[in-house]
A = this chain, B = another copy of it.
Amino acid sequence: MKDDTEEKGGLTRRGFLKSTGGAAAVAGMTVGGLAVGTGEAAAATGPMPKKWNETYDVVVIGSGFAGLAAAIEAKNAGASAVVIEKMAVHGGNSIINGGDFCAPGTKLQKEAGVQDSPDLMYNDMMKAGLYLNHPELARTVADQAKDALEWCENYIGAKFTRLNFHGGHSVKRANQTANASGSEVVNKMLGKARALGIEVQTRTKMVRFIANKDGRIVGIEVRTGYKFPDEKSGKTAYIKARKAVILTSGGFSEDLKLRQIEDPRLTDKFGTTNQPGATGEALLAACMAGAMDVQMDWIQLGPWTSPDEKGFGHVPLFCERLVGYGPMIDPVKGKRFFKETGNRKERADAIILLGHPVIIMGDSYSVPKQVFPRALEKGLESGAVKKFDTLEALAKNYNIPLSALQQEIARWNSFVEKKKDDDFDCMIFKDARPTAAPPFYAARLWPKVHHTMGGLVIDKNAQVFGLDFKPLKGLYAAGEVTGGVHGAVRLGGVAMADCLVFGRIAGKNAAKEKSWG
């Protein structure tokens, strides 16, 4: 191939010089008074290899929602594509996600009589995001979420069977997969990708980006046969991307070093809901290649996780189905302390402020009706969710002052009767009933690191921005590795929408790029 021949000299100084974009740096282009050049932006990248081991039009890094959607769309637009994944299994955090896909105007919403619109979803995202969201990115997700959901249903074959609510949304708009897991979509996308001839290479870790002399990203250096987290495992290979590289490597919740730079509170005392590979080295590699990041310090804690189980566990699905139906109680005082339907950040901050785990509870009417049966069953099995014949037994188990609890439950029930919470302005759903019918169910809640809102700056075409405020040629990104879509706070169920919408956009646009060699 042409490029291989050109670079036959291998790691000669000439080859390396070309790859560092020296010409542009010397030319001294200026942006905003600062001498930069696309060459410079790409200077902190690896050397051009003497030989590319593999060549594709589009190289996708990461095999979650965004990565698989990107690869499929790129392929369908006529590009050859490959997906690399550093872990032994595909799917990243997406495959362990709860399977809630927020989109306005869906079939399930219509069936449930829910009035919704892209504007309403956009406004909810912006409000929760404290208006730090990049408006055109949030708008793109709100506008295209329904189409992406229907693509998952009609083209990918994923099934969505239930409509859920998440705190911070104005209406129920989370379309839940049939198995209450992102695996429904991930595994069916993987099947589709394979049917299209797209290879998903697991145990293949991106090590650094490679740029040509114009600063365009032209490929990546990887380690194949990599065994996470052994950084010495595997061997070096080079994958050429004739059109573009798409980075969909996810967030950095599991990256203790990086997350503590951004939010020093998040020491190892906080667990995460993430798979262990959710680290930030690919994001930082993009920064080293001249990409700009944004809002990296907004790290979301899930307020619905339990200290009584590992990882995401089963309690989040228990908790999130109960908010708006049952009360959240501070066991020390036996009182409610915050609005159950508040957004994730509000609730997590309120619990951290108390300084100890709290209780979410329901009764024999609300729990079986709201909670996904398998989540309840698994939660009870593991002991993270408990069942009590009486309120007395519940109080005794959590060491809650009984009379205070009884008073507070009576007060909560009076709010449920009139569908108005005078204390914390919690949304109370119209089908909610007083928490009164034994047996009672409860689980303890303590926040875990869940999602990193910040990441690479992209435009609405999913193109990565450089430190010179210009697109970094040949590099797209989508999903949790990007920033700006959610601003300060990502609402529940919007990650899936974000990943599918921007993954598809990245794939389509990458395929449209001109081939460089």
Contact = CB atoms under 8 A, between A and B. Distances in A.
16 contacts: A16-B22, A26-B47, A32-B255, A32-B279, A33-B229, A33-B231, A34-B208, A36-B208, A40-B44, A132-B263, A135-B264, A261-B465, A287-B287, A287-B467, A295-B296, A295-B297
Contact of A294 (B229, B287, B297): B297
Interface string A27-51: 0001011111000110110110000
Contacts of A288: 36, 40-41, 290, 467
Contact of A297 (B33, B46, B208, B298): B298
Residue from the set A16, A32, A46, A262 with the largest chain B CB neighbour count within 10 Å:
A32
A222 to B, nearest CB: 11
Contact of A11 (B26, B47, B465): B26
Interface string A302-330: 00000000000000000000000000000
B265 A131 contact: yes
B281 A32 contact: yes
A34 B132 contact: no
A151 to B, nearest CB: 28
Contacts of A16: 17, 20, 22, 25-26
Contacts of A287: 287, 467
A447 to B, nearest CB: 14
Contacts of A32: 231, 255, 257, 279, 281
Residue from the set A257, A263, A295, A297 with the largest chain B CB neighbour count within 10 Å:
A297
Residue from the set A44, A205, A221 with the largest chain B CB neighbour count within 10 Å:
A44
A282 B47 CA distance: 27
Dominant secondary structure of chain A at its interface with chain B: mixed
A24 B501 CA distance: 39
Nearest to A488: B297
A394 interface: no
A284 interface: yes
A380 interface: no
Nearest to A465: B261
A133 interface: yes
A285 interface: yes
A195 B282 CA distance: 50
A457 interface: yes
A134 interface: yes
A418 interface: no
A207 interface: yes
Interface string A251-293: 0000101000111110000000000000101101101101011
Contacts of A229: 33
B264 A133 contact: yes
A43 B46 contact: no
Given A32-B279, A36-B288, 11 more contacts: A13-B22, A30-B231, A32-B281, A33-B281, A34-B208, A34-B284, A34-B285, A44-B290, A134-B264, A257-B469, A294-B296
Contacts of A22: 13, 16-17, 20, 47
A135 B265 CA distance: 9
B20 A47 contact: no
Interface in A216-240: 221, 229, 231
Contacts of A40: 44, 288
A256 B308 CA distance: 47
A457 B467 CA distance: 17
Nearest to A257: B469
A281 B34 contact: yes
A44 B44 contact: yes
Contact of A262 (B20, B133, B207, B295): B295
A40 B208 CA distance: 11
B17 A13 contact: yes
A46 B41 contact: no
A43 B20 contact: yes
A33 B132 contact: no
Residue from the set A43, A285, A465 with the largest chain B CB neighbour count within 10 Å:
A43
A35 B208 contact: yes
B47 A294 contact: no
Contacts of A298: 297
Contacts of A457: 261
A331 B296 CA distance: 38
A207 B20 contact: no
Given A13-B22, A22-B20, A288-B40, A207 B35 contact: yes
Contacts of A262: 294-295
